[in-house]
Structures are given as C-alpha cells and as structure tokens.
Structure 1
Amino acid sequence: MSQEILRVDDCNVIAVDWGSNGGSMFPYTQATANTQIVGAIVAQMIAFLMQETGNSAISYHLIGHSLGSHTMGYAGMRVPGLGRITGLDPAEPYFQGTEPMIRLDPTDAELVDIIHSDGGFFFTSLGYGMYDPTGHLDFYPNGGIEMPGCDEGLTHYIDMNGGIYEGGREYVACNHLKAIAYFHDSINSVCPMMAYPCRDYDRFEDGHCLDCGQGGCAQMGYHADRYKPAPGVTNLKYYLDTAARSPTCLYHYQIMITLGTDSDAQELDGFLHLSFVTQTGTVTEYYKLTEDPIKLQPGNSYLYFLKLPTDLGNLQRVRFLWDYDWSIANPTTWFIFSKPKIWMDQIQVLAGESQNRMSFCAFNNYFVEDVSTDLRLC
C-alpha cells in the first residue's frame, strides 16, 4: 500500500508497528486498551514533525485497520485540525454503540471516511467490524457485511496463502480484511470505485440509487477526499458492489425496460436478456436480467441492475432477447399456430460511473420470442 501511495502522490509514508512487541496481540482486551497509548504516541510524533518542519496538521492522512482505525481516532483527538483519517473496517467489540470520544468519530479529523466490510454483529455472526456509520463518509461495499470471494473453504485459503497460519487467518477474517484490499485497489485503479447514496443496501440492489442527484456520489477509498461534505454534515452512507478478486472495481448500470401496448398484446411469463453494442463495435455477451420468469404486462416498466467488470462507454445499440416460459402440463400456455410476442416501447440505460443516460427506442413494435432484435439510440 505504501508503494501504491508513493506512485500517485508526492508524500512521505510512515508505518506504525505496534504488533512486533505484542501491543496488538491477544488478549483482545489489552490490545483495545493499548490503542489509546499508541494513538497518543502517533499524535506526539505528528506534533514533533510539525514543529521541526513547519507543516500543518491538515497535511496528515492517517489510515488504520480494525483496532488501528480507533488508534488513529485517538491520535486525531490530540491533533487539532488533522486533515484526514481513513478507517478500514473499524473494530466492533468494545466500540460499537459507545460514546464518540471512545471510538473513531467525525470530530477526530477534518475528513473521516470509513469502509465497512465485516459489519455483522460479533456475538451472532462473528462480524469483527462496526456497522454503524462513524465518519463523514461511510462506504458499505456489498452491503458492508458479507464480501464476494469470502465463501471458499479453509483449504482454498491455505493454498492461496502458502501456509496454515496465513491461510487460516484469511479464512477467519476474510470479510474484515477486504476493506484493506478495496482501499489498496482504489489508489491507482483506472476504475473510480464510485459509490452511491441510498437509504439501504436492499434498495440499492433493486437499482433505485444510481442517480447521483443533488446529494452527489463519492469515490470509495484513497480518493474519497475529493468528495468532502459541507461542514457539519456527517454519516453519509454510500453503497457499491465489488468483484471477488482484484481488480475489485465494478461498473454499475441501471436498466429500465418499458413494454408497449397493442390490441393483440397479452400478459405472458418470460425471461429477459440484454446485450450491448459499444461505439467501437464491440458486442457483449447476453446478460440474463431475470433468474426466474416474470409476468410481462403490456405498458409496464421493469427495473434491473447490472454490475460489470468493464466500462461499456457510449453505446450505439442494445440487443434484446426474451424467452417465453411455458409448461407442457398447462395447455393454456401453449402457442400452436403462432409464436408468442410482446410489444416494446423503449429501453433506458443509466451508467452510474459516468451518469450517462441513453435511451433506445422500439417505437411500440412487437418482439417475437427467442429472436434477437436491435434497438438504436433515440
């Protein structure tokens, strides 16, 4: 992480080691108490550097994981005007639900940004991290509790990490460690790791929150300082999805499909598929929008959410395909003398990262089942 930061910024990076002397080791209760001591020592070092160099507190950015997040909070309490603290999944046991002075909170720096990756309650799901918002900007990748790539068996982690100790550590704390991986990826990623303000993760997953609107979106990770909120605004919650492996950044797309109407149109059950044709002529695979058949009602609109590893950029066309869902045991679903058809009005695509809105019109034409049809920009 130090090397990645030095690639992108002209700065000095100092690592605080409080583990080799046992300060961050078991018992956890002692490590928790030690955070206050280490925080005071970090603050003392910053005061010394400011006195010797003449630089200001605003130029310091403290980064801590788990207990280290609260350690940096204790340092910030002692350094008025500290620039920024990034908390990577701040530890939950003995900190969640406590008074702000006991844990990392927005008063500890001019900007406090948090990545929550293991926010399940410790005593029921062994979640090591806090779920409650505790910064100016609180990011909840994948909902902040269960992370992609953390559902493998123990032998997988041992093989991946070359040993029982490191493998076992990642197996037990995989979700908790993902906050570090996401921050690391964000430093020099070509993908912006854009996150979206939303009421909760369920609503985000339904595709309702990709419009940045007046509240604005924010980048998770190293570049979150570009989105510092107005004075006094805290606990802004943002959501995004990530991939299971590095590079973990994904691009988010909201798809709105509006069916047309016709005197011959009827309600049918089916599956929806969509492919994209970019401005460069690249054609993507077909993405299945519905795992289960849905009722396709004339005139209705259907909202879907796609997360892709690549930026599609501007689109010139979309390709639409639908499959009719029929049952051999139900004669009312049979089409004997004709193929089932639905009528289409338009398909709208909102690219979350660019906020580019694109509409593709079908002009209320019918689409035959299992026949791919192109829609152009309108």
Structure 2
Amino acid sequence: MKLLGASLLGTVFGDEVCYRHNQCEVGCFTNLPPWGGTDARPGSKLPNLPSDLNVNFHLDTTLETGVNIDYGNFDSLAASSFNPENPVYFIIHGYFDTGDEGWLQRISALILEQENANVFRVDWGEGSRTIQYAQAATDTQVVGGSVGCLIKDMEPFFRSMNSMVSKITCIGHSLGAQACGYVGQNVQKRYGVKLPVIHGLDPAEPYFKDTPDEVCLGYSDADFVSVIHSDATQFLSGGVQGLGLSYPVGHVDFWPNNGTNHPGCEGGLFDQITDNGGIWEGLRDFAVCYHQRAIRFFEESIPRNCNYKSYKCKRWTDFYEGYCLESWDNNLLPEMGWNSIHYKDIMPKPNLNEVYLNTGDKKPFCVHENLQRLYFNANTDRNLELDLEIQYLHSSGSPITLKINESPITPYEGFQMRTPLTLKENLGSINSLWVKLDFAGGLINLSHYATIDRIYIKHGEVQEESIYCPLEASMKVGQTYIFEKCQ
C-alpha cells in the first residue's frame, strides 16, 4: 500500500521515508531488507524524524567550548569559531548517552590538548534514551545523515571537497560507531571520496550482527577503520548476547583481553565510582563495564599515557601464553586507539588484521609485555619440585620481584620454561637478575642442584631481546644466584 503524507520535515511513501532539516536532505530510509524483516532485524521499523531525535552539535575549539551548531544552516556554523585550517572530529555517543557525557567532553579536551581542532560532540540523546533499543539502532541512520548535513555546511569554507573530507575523523561508541559508518557512507555518496579515519569503540552488535556492509560498520566506510572490541562475549549465561561486535570488521581490530573479561570489571560499585570520578559514570560502568572499557582505553591512548602495543596472533590462547610477542612484518606493533592511524599505510593485507593485547585493572590500563625463557642444563637433579623466584634489577625503577611458577616445576636436563611477563611496570633495560630456586615439596636435600644455563628475555613492545648467564657454574637449591648479560 502506498501512503502519502507530508510535513515540513518528512514525506512518507510506503516503506520509505525521506527527511530534510533546514536546507539539507538528511536522507531516504526504508524498512525493507536488509534494514528490516530479517533474522538480524525481525521488525519493520523506520527511523524517527530528525526533530524527534533533536540532533545537536556541540562545537569545541581552543577558543570556545560547547557552542551549539544548527546543522543545515550555514550561518550557524559561520558565526562560530570553526576554523577550516584545522582538523575536524565528530564524536558520537551510543545508547542511553548524550553529547554532554563526561567521556565525550574528556576526549574532546584531550584532542584539543594535542592540536588545534574543530571537535563536534554529536548529541542525539532524545533518540538514544529510550527503552526501545531497536528503534534507537534504526535511528543511527538519521544521526549519520545529520552529520552529513553539517559536513555539507562546511563546503563554502573549502576550495575543494577532497580537501574538506581529508580533514574529517569520526569517533563513535556502540551505536555511535554504527552511526560513524553511516557518516562514511553519506560522504562517499555525496562526494565520491572516503573519510580518512573512523575509530569504532566497541561497535554495537545487537541489531547489527551478520548484517551486510550497508547496515553495519565495516572497512569499506573509510580509508582506515580502527575497531576496539571490549564486550565481544557471544553468549553470556542465560543466552544474552554481548553488546559489542564479536567478529572483525575494520582494517585493524583490537581485542584487549580477548574482547571481554577485563581486569577490574569484577570490582564493586564503589570501585567503579572511585575509578571514574563520578556517580553516574560509575553506575554505568558497573552495569556495562566491558562495553565502556573501549572508551576508557581510547581516552588513555590520546595523550599517549598508555602505550597500547598489540600483537598479531592466530588465537587469544596463543597470545595469553606468550607465543605471539614476536611481531609480524618488520616489527609492526600497532597501537590501540588514537595512534592506530600511524599504522594505516603499513598494515599488511588483507584488510582484516586481528591483534591482541592485555590491559591492567585500573587507570592507567596499559601494561608491558615481556617473554622469558629459562634453559636448564645437565647439572640438574630429576624429580625435584621447585618454586622459582626472580628479582629484576632494571633501569626504569625499583627492583621487581616475581614468583614465576603457579604450580611446582620439575626441571630436567634440557628443560625449557617459557613464561609471559605482563607487568604494570616497564622493565626497561635489565642490568641483572637474582634467581632463587626453593623446594616446593618432597624430600629436602640441600645438596640438590637445579642449574639454569641461561635466561632469555624479550621486551615485546620494543622488540628487543637479551640473554643472561649465571656468574656461577652450578646452583644449589635454596640459594640465590646472580645472572648478568652474557658476553
């Protein structure tokens, strides 16, 4: 059935609706497959009117912050401190957030500390704050179209469309990441060129899982699409789907802590409030801690307080056990978050590159990855049950003492013990090691020997390795021995 109706903002024709705002065509939208009536989207929803979403743009520059810009209205932008000489950033929030959330303001402020820029915080809170998640997910198309209208308002500031688009980056969380995908599609249709960069912070999976490229954020939406997966649990107890995409979609997909089970998220409500500096953000992180971690990681990556180096690996278990600290292709270790753009032109093909990293339990979340191998020689008694403790005397700070084994070890001639060392502290340059082997059980005989021939250590993030040798030829169990770099 064909429905005819008209208003100032929209005209409906059957299963399609076309919207405009001020002098700009926001776009035409349908509820036909793949947008509706599919397994991923069983409903037949159409996006709401732009006026219902009340999309607002809050412009932050080094001269002024929080200036409201009316999109589709060139005069509104012209009267602001918008500077076409500077980069342009759009930050788009997700479900139940607004453009005035603390995390959007913090990211905006951090960007402005790095460079003179035009940062637009995109506020569609009247659409996102609804119990009807499927409707909010559908409305991200209008959000993307509204950003497209503001980009169109910028045209008179630039000599060419290519020079304008080349300055634009979109940063989105959850549904906001999906909206960034629509921004990218809008730009390609209107100008025939791609956005340079999209940063997807845990792009929403419900209502987008296994949908085609035109529906879900993907690497075709920009020249470089960087994705942080932080709530990628496919099915939690009770069959509830994770909030973030559980499969790769970008040019590089980062999987911190395998995209789920982040250290620190098991803490109580008070811990979250303390760590986030506010009751509302603490409450939200307590409820959806995994999903919010992508924001926290990205935020810390901007001033480079955290060096989020990541590692190519076939699977998470291999990385977790330390098998992947050697990089691929000329020591390429992409940094998760803001600085991932530096690896745009040197990432290996194909487009989907999945990389892994660990994080800590609280700010700063960055950790340092090291790989250690111990080689036992012939002067080692069999069937000993031992505990191993090593003190690392290094150039970056106070000595670090670690118990290396979780369960007793039973070394023998030729035995190799490989251990990943994930540390909050940076070991820096290690001057010497103090190694002690203690009895963990069984009959104690002080004449037992368990001699380590050499110790190999590789610093993952700088791809440097060193080998340490004992100053004495044999090691009695229960005593401490010094290792220094082999000559």
Q: Shared fold by TM > 0.5? A: yes
Q: Is the 8 A contact 1:50 1:57 kept in 2?
A: no
Aligned position for 2:40: none
Give the aligned partner of residue 301 of structure 2. 186
CA distance in 2, matches of 1:292, 1:46: 59
- How far is the alpha carbon of 1:233 from its aligned partner? 2.8
Deviating more after overlay: 189-198 vs 75-84: 189-198
CA deviation profile, 1:96-152 (whole Å, cap 9, x unmatched): 222122110000000000011110125625521112011001001111011111102
Q: Does 1:295 align with 2:404?
A: no
Kindly tell me: are residues 214 and 202 of structure 1, through their superposed partners in 2, closer, same or farther at Cα, counting changes over 3 Å?
A: same
Q: Which residue of 2 aligns with 1:37?
A: 142
8 Å Cα contact 2:333/2:461 also seen in 1: no
Contact 1:114 1:138 in 2 (8 A): yes
**Matches of 1:240 and 1:335 in 2, distance apart?**
41
Cα deviation for residue 160 of structure 1 reads 6.0
1:347 aligned counterpart, secondary structure:
strand
For residues 163 and 218 of structure 1, do their structure 2 counterparts lie closer, same or farther at Cα, with a shift above 3 Å needed?
closer
Residues 213 and 126 of structure 1: CA distance in aligned 2, closer, same or farther (over 3 Å) = closer
How far does residue 258 in structure 1 lie from its aligned partner after superposition? 0.9
Tell me the SS of whatever aligns to 1:87: strand
CA distance in 2, matches of 1:367, 1:226: 48
Residue 350 to residue 40, structure 1, CA distance change in 2 (3 Å): same
Offset at residue 316 of structure 1 (A): 1.4
CA contact (8 A) 1:260 1:343 kept: yes
Check 1:97–1:302 CA distance in 2 against 1; reply closer, same or farther (3 A cut).
same
Q: Counterpart of 2:208?
A: 95
Counterpart residue number, 1:217:
333
Q: What residue is the counterpart of 1:308 in the other structure?
A: 423
Matches within 5 A, 1:240-255: 240-255=357-372
Please point out which of 389, 413, 422 is paired with 1:273: 389
Give the AA of the match of 1:361: C
Change (3 A) 1:159 1:352: closer
Amino acid at match of 1:67: L
Are 1:256 and 2:373 counterparts?
Answer: yes
Whole-angstrom CA distance in 1 between matches of 2:463 and 2:288: 35
2:109 corresponds in structure 1 to 3
1:235 match: 352
Name the SS for the 1:15 alignment partner. Answer: strand
User: What is the deviation of 1:28?
Assistant: 0.2
Q: Secondary structure of the equivalent of 1:37?
A: helix
Say whether residues 1:340 and 2:462 are aligned partners: no
Q: 1:257 and 1:125 mapped to 2: Cα distance?
A: 43
Q: Highest CA radius of gyration, 1 or 2? A: 2
For residues 47-74 of structure 1, the C-alpha deviation after alignment (integer angstroms, 9 at most, x for no partner) is 3324433433122110000000000001
The answer to which structure, 1 or 2, has the higher relative contact order (CA under 8 A, 6+ apart) is 1
Moved more, 233-242 or 147-156: 147-156
Change (3 A) 1:233 1:161: closer
Q: Deviations over 1:208-249 (max 9, x none)?
A: 111113262100010000111458631201111111111111
Give the aligned length.
368
> Does 1:108 pair with 2:213?
no
Q: Measured at CA, do residues 247 and 164 of structure 1 come closer, stay the same or move farther in structure 2, by a change above 3 Å?
A: closer
**Do the aligned partners of residues 121 and 347 (structure 1) sit closer, same or farther apart at CA in structure 2, a change above 3 Å counting?**
same
Tell me, what secondary structure is at the counterpart of 2:473? Answer: strand
RMSD: 2.2
Name the structure 2 match of 1:369: 477
SS at match of 1:56: helix
Give the distance between the partners of 1:50 and 1:169, measured in 2 at CA. Answer: 38
SS at match of 1:22: helix
Structure-2 separation of matches of 1:25 and 1:298:
65
TM-score by length of 1: 0.91
Structure 1 residues 164 and 313 mapped into 2: Cα distance closer, same or farther (>3 Å)? Answer: closer
> Is the 1:344–1:363 Cα contact (8 Å) retained in structure 2?
no
Alignment of 1:115-126 (within 5 A): 115-121=228-234, 124-126=239-241
Change (3 A) 1:58 1:122: farther
CA distance in 2 between partners of 1:375 and 1:138 (Å) = 39
2:311 corresponds to which of 193, 196, 214: 196
Distance 2:291 2:375 in 1: 41
Q: Distance in 2 between matches of 1:138 and 1:342?
A: 44
Distance 1:287 1:50, change over 3 A: farther
Distance 2:368 2:278 in 1: 34
- Residue equivalent to 2:92: none
Letter of the 2:449 counterpart: K
Instruction: Note closer, same or farther for the CA distance 1:314–1:152 as it changes in structure 2 (3 Å cut).
Output: same
Q: Is the 8 A contact 2:252 2:354 kept in 1?
A: yes
Normalising by structure 2, report the TM-score.
Answer: 0.71
Opposite residue 242 of structure 1, the aligned amino acid is T
Instruction: State whether residues 388 and 403 of structure 2, in contact with CA within 8 Å, keep that contact through their aligned partners in structure 1.
Output: yes
Offset of residue 266 of structure 1 = 2.2
Is the CA contact 1:275–1:283 (under 8 Å) kept in the aligned structure 2?
Answer: no
Q: Supply the distance in 1 between the matched residues of 2:411 and 2:287 (Cα, whole angstroms).
A: 44
Name the CA distance, whole Å, in 1 between partners of 2:115 and 2:164.
17
Assess, with a 3 A threshold, how the Cα gap between structure 1 residues 186 and 46 changes in structure 2: closer, same or farther: same
Taking the aligned partners of 2:366 and 2:273, their CA distance within structure 1 comes to: 25
1:73 equivalent to 2:181? Answer yes
Deviation at 1:158, TM superposition (A): 5.6
Q: Helix, strand or coil for the counterpart of 2:123?
A: coil
- For the Cα contact (< 8 Å) 1:18–1:38, is it kept in 2? yes
